[in-house]
Structure formats: C-alpha cells, structure tokens
C-alpha cells in the first residue's frame, strides 16, 4: 500500500535518518546534528563529502556541457578515460552509470572475445557469498536466495561455487571467472585464492574479471589488485559521488572485441560525472591515498579488535562480526554520532573515506565501544 509521504517501491528499509549536507568526513541530518561518516553512501565518497577540487571540476563542467552522449567526443570523458587507462597498463575503458552495468559490460566483452575467436564459450563462474549487483545478470552471478527468490528465470550458464573450489571448477568451457578481490556484501572477506584462480584461467583460456566496484581504487590498501585481471569492473568511488562505472579492459587482446554497435549506453560516461571522476582519480593517485587506506585501516582494525570484536577485511573495508543482528548496534552507533552499514545481517561494515585521519579513526573506535556498551 502506498504511504503518501513515502511514495517509493519497498526496496529499502531505511534508517530513521535524513541527511541534508556533507563536508569532509562528516554528514549532517535535518535536525542539524553532524555524524562521522563510516558508510560513505556505501563506499562511494572516497575523498569525503564536497571535496573542493572535485566540486571545482564539477562546477567548471556545469558551465560547459552537461550531456552530449557517446555519439560525440567530450574532453572531460577523454581526460578521465586517459587517466584510468594509464593507471591500468594502457587499458581500454567503457564507461557505465553503475556497478552492475560495469559487470554487464565486462561479461559481454568476455563472451564476445571468445565468440570472435571461433570458440563461443559462455560459462561464467562466480563465488558463493559474492555480490555483483541486482539486475537479472547481477542476480545470476549473486547466489543469495534472499535476493533471487521470485525473479527467475535468470540468465543461464552462470554458476557459483565456494571460493576455495573456484580454481578447480574452471574448464575449457569457462568464458570468465568473476570475482571480488574482497567480498563486500559477503562480510568483507579477502579472497586468498586469486593467484590459483588466475592460473586456472590461464591454463584453460578463460578470462578473469575482478569486480572491484566496492574494494577498488585504493580502499583495500592498493590501487591495483596484485593478481593480473583481464577486465576490472569499477564504480562506487570512481565518480566522486556522481554516478559512474567502468569496465576496464586491461588485457590488450580484448581491445578490439567490441566493434561499433556491439554495446552502448546513453548516459554512461556523462561529462559531469567524468569531470568529478578525473579529479577524484588524480587526487587518489597524487596523494597516495591507497597507502593511507592501508595504514588507517590497520589502526581501525586494531582498535576494533581491542574492543573484543572479530574483524575481517582489508584496508578501509572492514567488518566486525557480531554473531547476532547488527541493526541494534548500528542504531546505537548513530546515537553516538557514527554512521556505518551492515554486511549481511550480523556484521557491521566500516567504509570510511580514504581521507580519514588518526583522530577520526580513534573517534570511530570510541563511538563503537560506547555503542557496544549501550547495547549490552
Ligand atoms: C555495489 C556493488 C555492485 C553493484 O553496483 P551498483 O552501482 O549498485 O549497480 C556490484 N558489485 C559489488 C562488489 C558491489 O559492491
């Protein structure tokens, strides 16, 4: 039934929180209260809110062109693609609006690559506890009954196996393995088998697609995943808060797999989003923020462990596993002035901005400790 004051389909059970403003590591609600933001709109605001250089880039672009489409050339899109390309070994880039569209482009590119070589394989392998998005392809790669029930049939020839069995599951029928280097919704679990999965892909002519939509661009402590991927899917932090994703074809053999007309998007690579992304990427790289994610993440992890919490994750992508529903602790943390988010039902996930400093980390730990006591 429609609630006239909340005219939405019922996709989200929202927090009782209305945000109106963001500045640096903090956000403000409609009563004027400020919070330390350890959720960043689900791993999006890597440079914090309203970063002055990103804002200046967006405002300059707004004085020029707001939208032009991919039928034409646009300087901010060109600049952003060039920066991304250089950061990924002269990769070729396809821009999207969102994460799941980046995965979609990556999977289509992988299948097309095999098809063009006269070896039309279609099997896509993913891991259990993976999260790859909510379209029908995203769901087909996300083996969680709670998300899938009622939406079938899903696209075929997509299979999920436990991450430790993935390498052995790759065969000469496999078009690509799609894997998150650190599983985000699945409890911030770093995948330790990446090198074995890479080797299995190489042995069988399959491609490796890393879904770095959540962990990418430095959050996990390094800008690039040490294991070579053929295609990297990005989004979330990429657009600096504006909607932008990218399928980044690192393997040069893939650069000609798409030909004009094979794939497309109206809004993907919007020039305003690309202006924000170009500034965001420049600052992440110039200021070596991935290293900062590593060091601040280490401090946060140690502080949370000192509170007696079981912590998993990497860099500034950490989950505290409670063994009981996380919602009451998340609410108590908001009362203590900190916003975090869940990972599954029983873990609290910390996704603070890359620019967080020691004082903020200590504030986060203290608020979490106080909230734990409030909930006891
Ligand atoms: C958020 C996320 C997605 C989906 O991104 P959307 O922008 O919501 O479509 C896919 N994969 C991972 C790992 C994510 O964290």
CATH class entry, domain 52-286:
alpha beta
Determine contact, residues 132/144, Cβ cutoff 8 Å.
Answer: no
- What is the structure's pLDDT at 70? 98
pLDDT at 1 over 90: no
Output the CA angle 275-241-74, nearest 5 degrees. Answer: 20
- Please name the residues in contact with 292: beta carbons below 8 A apart, sequence gap of 6 or more: 354, 355
Distances (CA, A) of 263 to 68, 162, 175: 18, 31, 18
Task: Provide the angle, in degrees to the nearest 10, between the axes of the packed helices 271-286 and 289-306.
Answer: 70
Q: Which DSSP symbol is given to 252?
A: G
Nearest to 89 by CA among 290, 274, 228: 228
322 pLDDT tier (thresholds 50, 70, 90): very high
- What is the structure's pLDDT at 32? 98
Q: Which two tokens stand for residue 281?
A: 């990427």
Distance 235 CA to ligand 1 centre (A): 7
As a whole number, mean pLDDT of residues 258-271 equals: 98
Atom of ligand 1 nearest to the CA of 245: 7
- What is the structure's pLDDT at 261? 96
As a whole number, mean pLDDT of residues 53-75 equals: 98
User: pLDDT tens digits for 14-26?
Assistant: 999 999 999 999 9
Ligand 1 pocket mutation, candidates 107, 236, 242, criterion most atoms within 8 A of CB: 236
Separation between Cα atoms, residue 76 and residue 276, nearest integer Å: 9
Closest residue by CA, ligand 1 atom 6: 99
Distance 269 CA to ligand 1 centre (A): 17
pLDDT at 327 over 90: yes
User: pLDDT tens digits for 30-50?
Assistant: 999 999 999 999 999 999 999
Distance 356 CA to ligand 1 centre (A): 23
145 pLDDT tier (thresholds 50, 70, 90): very high
pLDDT at 257 over 90: yes
- Give the count of beta carbons closer than 10 Å to the beta carbon of residue 92: 21
β partners of residue 348: 320, 342
Mean pLDDT of the chain: 97
Atom of ligand 1 nearest to the CA of 138: 10
Separation between Cα atoms, residue 138 and residue 101, nearest integer Å: 9
Distance 144 CA to ligand 1 centre (A): 14
Residues within 6 Å of ligand 1 by CB: 98-100, 131-133, 180, 184, 211, 213-214, 235-236
Distance 62 CA to ligand 1 centre (A): 27
Distance 100 CA to ligand 1 centre (A): 6
pLDDT at 376 over 90: no
β partners of residue 22: 27
As a whole number, mean pLDDT of residues 311-326 equals: 98
User: pLDDT tens digits for 89-136?
Assistant: 999 999 999 999 999 999 999 999 999 999 999 999 999 999 999 999
3-state secondary structure of 242: strand
Cis peptide before 171 (omega within 30 of 0): no
What burial class does residue 118 get, using C-beta atoms within 10 Å of its C-beta: 0-12 exposed, 13-18 middle, 19+ buried? Answer: exposed
Distance 21 CA to ligand 1 centre (A): 24
Separation between Cα atoms, residue 268 and residue 212, nearest integer Å: 18
3-state secondary structure of 11: coil
Q: Where are the alpha helices (DSSP H) in 36-74?
A: 40-43, 52-62
Separation between Cα atoms, residue 343 and residue 351, nearest integer Å: 11
pLDDT at 186 over 90: no
Ligand 1 pocket mutation, candidates 132, 140, 183, 343, criterion most atoms within 8 A of CB: 132
- Please name the residues in contact with 247: beta carbons below 8 A apart, sequence gap of 6 or more: 93, 94, 96, 102, 103, 105, 106, 109, 231, 232, 233, 234
């Amino acid at each position: 039934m429609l609630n006239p004051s909340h005219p939405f389909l019922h996709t989200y059970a929202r927090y009782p929180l209305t945000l109106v403003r963001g500045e640096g590591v903090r956000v403000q609600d409609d009563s004027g209260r400020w919070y330390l933001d350890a959720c960043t709109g689900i791993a999006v605001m890597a440079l914090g809110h309203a970063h002055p250089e990103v804002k200046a880039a967006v405002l300059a672009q707004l004085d020029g062109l707001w939208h032009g489409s991919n039928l034409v050339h646009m300087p901010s899109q060109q600049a952003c693609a060039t920066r991304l390309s250089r950061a990924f070994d002269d990769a070729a880039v396809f821009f999207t609006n969102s994460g799941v569209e980046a995965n979609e482009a990556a999977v289509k590119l992988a299948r097309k690559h095999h098809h063009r070589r006269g070896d039309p394989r279609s099997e896509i392998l993913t891991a259990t506890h993976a999260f790859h998005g909510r379209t029908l392809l995203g769901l087909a790669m996300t083996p969680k009954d709670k998300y899938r029930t009622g939406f079938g049939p899903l696209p075929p020839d997509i299979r999920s196996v436990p991450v430790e069995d993935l390498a052995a599951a790759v065969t000469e029928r496999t078009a690509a393995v799609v894997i998150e280097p650190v599983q985000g919704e699945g409890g911030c679990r770093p995948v330790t088998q990446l090198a074995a999965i890479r080797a299995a892909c190489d042995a069988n002519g399959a491609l490796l697609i890393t879904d770095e939509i959540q962990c990418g661009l430095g959050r996990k402590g390094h800008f690039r995943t040490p294991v070579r991927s053929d295609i990297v899917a990005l989004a979330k932090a990429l657009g600096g808060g504006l909607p932008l994703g990218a399928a980044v074809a690192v393997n040069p053999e893939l650069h000609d797999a798409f030909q004009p007309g094979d794939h497309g998007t109206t809004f993907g690579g919007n020039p305003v989003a690309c202006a924000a992304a170009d500034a965001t990427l420049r600052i992440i790289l110039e200021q070596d923020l991935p290293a900062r994610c590593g060091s601040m993440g280490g401090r946060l992890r140690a502080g949370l462990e000192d509170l007696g919490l079981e912590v998993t994750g990497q860099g500034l992508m950490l989950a505290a596993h409670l063994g009981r529903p996380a919602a009451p602790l998340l609410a108590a943390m908001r009362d203590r002035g900190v916003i975090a988010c869940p990972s599954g039902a029983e873990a609290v996930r910390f996704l603070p901005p890359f620019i967080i400093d020691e004082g903020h980390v200590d504030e986060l730990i203290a608020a979490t400790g106080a909230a734990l006591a409030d909930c006891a």
